[in-house]
Chains A and B, each alone.
Chain A
Amino acid sequence: AQSVTQPDIHITVSEGASLELRCNYSYGATPYLFWYVQSPGQGLQLLLKYFSGDTLVQGIKGFEAEFKRSQSSFNLRKPSVHWSDAAEYFCAVGVIGYSTLTFGKGTMLLVSP
């Protein structure tokens, strides 16, 4: 069975600084990979996804993620964090033939002034 690890439960970043959130997955083949964000009182919003092709994926709100097959990783990055980026971020894996998603435990991002 596939699994997703987000090693950082909380991360604090200064506004304007760069951000990288880590995600590692365990699966025998190349999965579909997703990053979702949940702001307080909101549903999970899809930031970006990787299905195939270019391993550097651009998403909404200035986020990007890079799929590294050799490291089984799909880290999320943003060059300059804004206070409105404070939220919880979830990495998720989808598997061909199944419609369900497997999520990591989430990383709470705090943005300091």
Chain B
Amino acid sequence: EAGVTQFPSHSVIEKGQTVTLRCDPISGHDNLYWYRRVMGKEIKFLLHFVKESKQDESGMPNNRFLAERTGGTYSTLKVQPAELEDSGVYFCASSLRTGGFTEQFFGPGTRLTVL
């Protein structure tokens, strides 16, 4: 069974540009999460989808970040325009159920560098 995949693995852009990160969850997982790790800091929650609906987006830093999950399958996270402080590793995770607490399976992350 394929795990969570993320694309690209690395992205280097200049301040003011736009970047779109993609996450493909494990097939059949309704729950999809985005997390971010800024250098030297904790991995922090950004948002949670249940199918195509945003269940919790309390961790999104500002309105330059837009997450979508059309059709309830893969998700994209767009940063527009990117700022220096957006640099970090963006992780995606998926899980099977919403009720209770189930294991979240993580992807390898996308390392974003904003120059």
Q: List the interface of chain A (C-beta within 8 A of B).
A: 4, 32, 36, 41-46, 49, 51, 90, 92, 94, 96, 98-106
Q: Which of B40, B59, B91 contacts A44 (CB 8 A)?
A: B91
Assembly CA distance A43 to B92 (angstroms): 9
Q: Least Cβ distance of B3 to chain A in Å? A: 7
Known: A96-B101, A100-B48. A43 touches B4 (CB 8 A): yes
Partner of A42, one of B43, B45, B59, B108: B108
Cβ–Cβ contact A103 & B55, under 8 A: no
B interface with A by C-beta (< 8 Å):
3-4, 31, 33, 35, 40-45, 48, 55-56, 59, 91, 93, 95, 98, 101, 103-109
Separation of A41 and B109 alpha carbons in the complex (Å): 8
A-B contact count (CB 8 A): 57
Quick check: A99 and B98 within 8 Å, CB to CB? yes
**CB <8 Å contact, A43 and B3:** yes
Interchain CB contact (< 8 A) of B31 among A32, A99, A101: A99
Q: Which residue of B lies closest to A4 (CB)?
A: B42
CB-nearest residue of chain A to B33: A100
Picked from B41, B55, B109, the residue with its CB within 8 Å of the CB of A99 is B55
Q: Is B106's CB under 8 angstroms from A100's CB?
A: no
State how many angstroms separate the Cβ of B105 from the closest Cβ of chain A: 8
CB <8 Å contact, A36 and B106: yes
Name the 10 nearest CB pairs between A and B, nearest first.
A44-B106, A103-B43, A43-B106, A100-B45, A43-B108, A103-B42, A32-B101, A43-B107, A94-B101, A105-B42
